[in-house]
Chains A and B, each alone.
Chain A
């Protein structure tokens, strides 16, 4: 490959430059992925994405619809406002933990301790508030900080000492479970004040009809305005922007979903507080991951640790902070779970909680290999898992079958993930 530089004809070189500098719009390489303007462009873009295996959340949404149709045909109570409302409140505990798992999976790591840490948070709150009479707010904050500290310890051992995250958090799983049993003491179960703050997390509903609709309108308007002005800015800066028609289409789709959910809630007890908090957390975490330099660092680490290090990213700090975030959300989830059963007991954080949280993140579309995923995946995934649980419970089918079905869904998801990756590789979009 010995190239003499003079072999490049100088004329070519001279002509090429001003042409390119004149703007990409004037020079169109036939291989460039130039998006057509208007609605037709959106359709072709969508088709290309499907062909390239860039399915995003489509498989899980289709899966969710199928699951709902099956359970509805088996029992007409499944899609009742009552049941749907219960599902959405029940999913928040596991969903919060899954949000933390999404952060860890984005690094390409795993956190096996989240179940135990969630149990510790519930137990800490109960012991501090009920046994020691500490104020609710203080106990609440301390319980969440327990999770943060536990996660930070895992992160420290992983990042600074270099022990695989799998091993550190496996040790954490055992340790924190023991810690929880220790602080719960001999008696084992501590009942929470049923009118207390933590209990209210899952029992409070905004019964005013306006609350649900107000939130639906707010979310839709927020989405529309941010998309619209975002696109205006892109247009002004001369970079490709979405046509207004596409923004409107997306807004309409979101509005349909938001108002359908609002109508369902208003037919039962109203808008659940737990759901408001969960949606708020998803909005904030999604913003952090996709719009802040910190979020960009997390994705970078999931893509290539070496590249991140050379870009000057403090790899250790990001790793520690991500595990601290995972621990924090585990604690938050643990408090929601304690709230649901109005007590802290020895079984908390055990059983299928850990697996459900990880499965939720993965089913929702977060890649196990790092660098791909969004916190909204946690919502979709946990919705699938809790729907299966409630659907089978309505049929009176016991948990063995439920485990097998959830396992099957998880397998189907990772198979789709693997096939997607293959298709993306052949289409050059891995």
Chain B
């Protein structure tokens, strides 16, 4: 967790968030550097999504400090996060089914000419961007409703790249994808890192995490439960951190089965 090399792009210091009687996050610490992929893992209800939403400005934090490039900032609205250079791709994608690909890519940041939508310019740039990312879709002028799940995911990620963000947050980007598309999305994540973006990747899939992440931050019951270097950590160690103990369902099962063999 100690990085002497540079100031982290984003740092959370003692962040807490409460929803009524539920303490969703307690004193959470997190650091992300430029050109680094940090995987955020944890069991269901560990607070991953809440943490991401606080960074994205959907839920303002109750306590703690968010530092951006070393300076404390307040993120109260999605717009604040966007202005800082934080792009978020949510699990439910947040695309408008009735609007075409170009319209969705530029939703909320339309290119204007004399105050009017510049459709030609947006379409040209959309094609350029999709080509750069090797994304194939039937046409940039068909409604999102006509695309497959994988195509929608790639459009959503491409959309996050448009503002040249410093930090990209991907919420379970491979959850509903096929083999080929998963590999494409992971390639995309690596391309983001090569271009110097900081990436927070939420995933349940340890193989994905091991494949692309540099660090793994584990959340458990709304608290930090360790940050690991991916290269020097085994999958079992991460899982035990997620489940909260070295004694967990996974290890018990392993012990039981090996015990049975001994008998």
Residues of A that sit less than 8 Å from B by CB: 1-8, 13, 16-17, 20-21, 23-24, 29, 31-34, 230, 233-234, 237-240, 291-293, 296, 299-300, 302-304, 306-313, 370-372, 424, 428-430
Partner of B143, one of A230, A296, A429: A429
The answer to whether A16 touches B134 (Cβ under 8 A) is yes
Bound CA span A50–B92, Å: 31
A-facing mask of B163-181, CB < 8 A → 1, else 0? 0000000000010010100
Shortest Cβ distance from residue A86 to the other chain B in the assembled complex, whole angstroms: 37
Q: Pick the interface stretch among B3-11, B123-131, B246-254, B255-263.
A: B123-131
The answer to whether B131 touches A300 (Cβ under 8 A) is no
Q: Is the C-beta of B115 less than 8 angstroms from some C-beta in chain A?
A: yes
Q: Is the C-beta of B158 less than 8 angstroms from some C-beta in chain A?
A: no
Residue among B109, B138, B212 with max Cβ neighbours from chain A (10 Å): B138
Question: A310-B58, A311-B107 in contact; A1/B96 too (CB < 8 A)?
Answer: no
By a CB distance below 8 angstroms, the chain A residues around B112 are 293
Partner of B212, one of A5, A300, A310: A5
Q: List 14 other contacts, CB 8 Å, given A33-B139, A230-B120, A299-B99.
A: A1-B177, A1-B205, A2-B206, A3-B208, A17-B134, A24-B131, A237-B120, A237-B121, A237-B123, A306-B94, A307-B95, A310-B78, A311-B94, A430-B97
Q: Pick the interface stretch among B15-23, B25-33, B39-47, B182-190.
A: B182-190
The answer to whether A307 touches B183 (Cβ under 8 A) is no
Partner of B99, one of A5, A239, A300, A306: A300
**Of residues 102 to 144 in B, which have CB atoms within 8 Å of A's CB atoms?**
103, 107-110, 112, 115-117, 119-121, 123-124, 127, 131-132, 134, 136, 138-139, 141-143
Question: A2-B207, A13-B187, A302-B98 in contact; A429/B116 too (CB < 8 A)?
Answer: no
6 examples of A-B residue contacts, CB within 8 angstroms: A2-B205, A3-B182, A3-B211, A16-B134, A237-B123, A428-B145
Q: Is the C-beta of B154 less than 8 angstroms from some C-beta in chain A?
A: no
Closest residue of chain B to A34 (Cβ to Cβ) is B139
9 nearest interchain CB pairs?
A: A303-B96, A311-B108, A371-B98, A5-B211, A2-B207, A303-B98, A307-B94, A8-B183, A311-B107
Bound CA span A13–B188, Å: 11
Question: A5-B211, A29-B136 in contact; A237/B117 too (CB < 8 A)?
Answer: no
Shortest Cβ distance from residue B238 to the other chain A in the assembled complex, whole angstroms: 14
Residues of B that sit less than 8 Å from A by CB: 56, 58, 78-79, 82, 88, 90, 92-99, 103, 107-110, 112, 115-117, 119-121, 123-124, 127, 131-132, 134, 136, 138-139, 141-143, 145-146, 174, 177, 179, 182-183, 186-187, 190, 205-208, 211-212
Bound CA span A378–B168, Å: 43
The answer to whether B183 touches A3 (Cβ under 8 A) is yes
Shortest Cβ distance from residue A17 to the other chain B in the assembled complex, whole angstroms: 6
The answer to whether B174 touches A296 (Cβ under 8 A) is no
Question: A20-B134, A23-B131 in contact; A307/B116 too (CB < 8 A)?
Answer: no
By a CB distance below 8 angstroms, the chain A residues around B141 are 240
By a CB distance below 8 angstroms, the chain B residues around A2 are 205-207
Closest residue of chain A to B138 (Cβ to Cβ) is A33
The answer to whether A304 touches B96 (Cβ under 8 A) is yes
Bound CA span A31–B131, Å: 16
By a CB distance below 8 angstroms, the chain B residues around A17 are 134
Partner of B211, one of A4, A312, A372: A4
Closest residue of chain A to B97 (Cβ to Cβ) is A303
The answer to whether B123 touches A239 (Cβ under 8 A) is yes
Closest residue of chain A to B93 (Cβ to Cβ) is A307
Bound CA span A240–B94, Å: 27
Question: A2-B207, A24-B127, A233-B120 in contact; A371/B96 too (CB < 8 A)?
Answer: yes
By a CB distance below 8 angstroms, the chain B residues around A237 are 120-121, 123-124
Bound CA span A33–B136, Å: 11
Question: A1-B179, A429-B142 in contact; A312/B207 too (CB < 8 A)?
Answer: no
Bound CA span A20–B98, Å: 27
The answer to whether B142 touches A296 (Cβ under 8 A) is no
Shortest Cβ distance from residue B109 to the other chain A in the assembled complex, whole angstroms: 8
Closest residue of chain B to A371 (Cβ to Cβ) is B98
Bound CA span A290–B103, Å: 11
Question: A296-B117, A310-B78 in contact; A8/B96 too (CB < 8 A)?
Answer: no
Bound CA span A142–B109, Å: 36
By a CB distance below 8 angstroms, the chain A residues around B143 are 429-430
By a CB distance below 8 angstroms, the chain B residues around A313 are 107-108
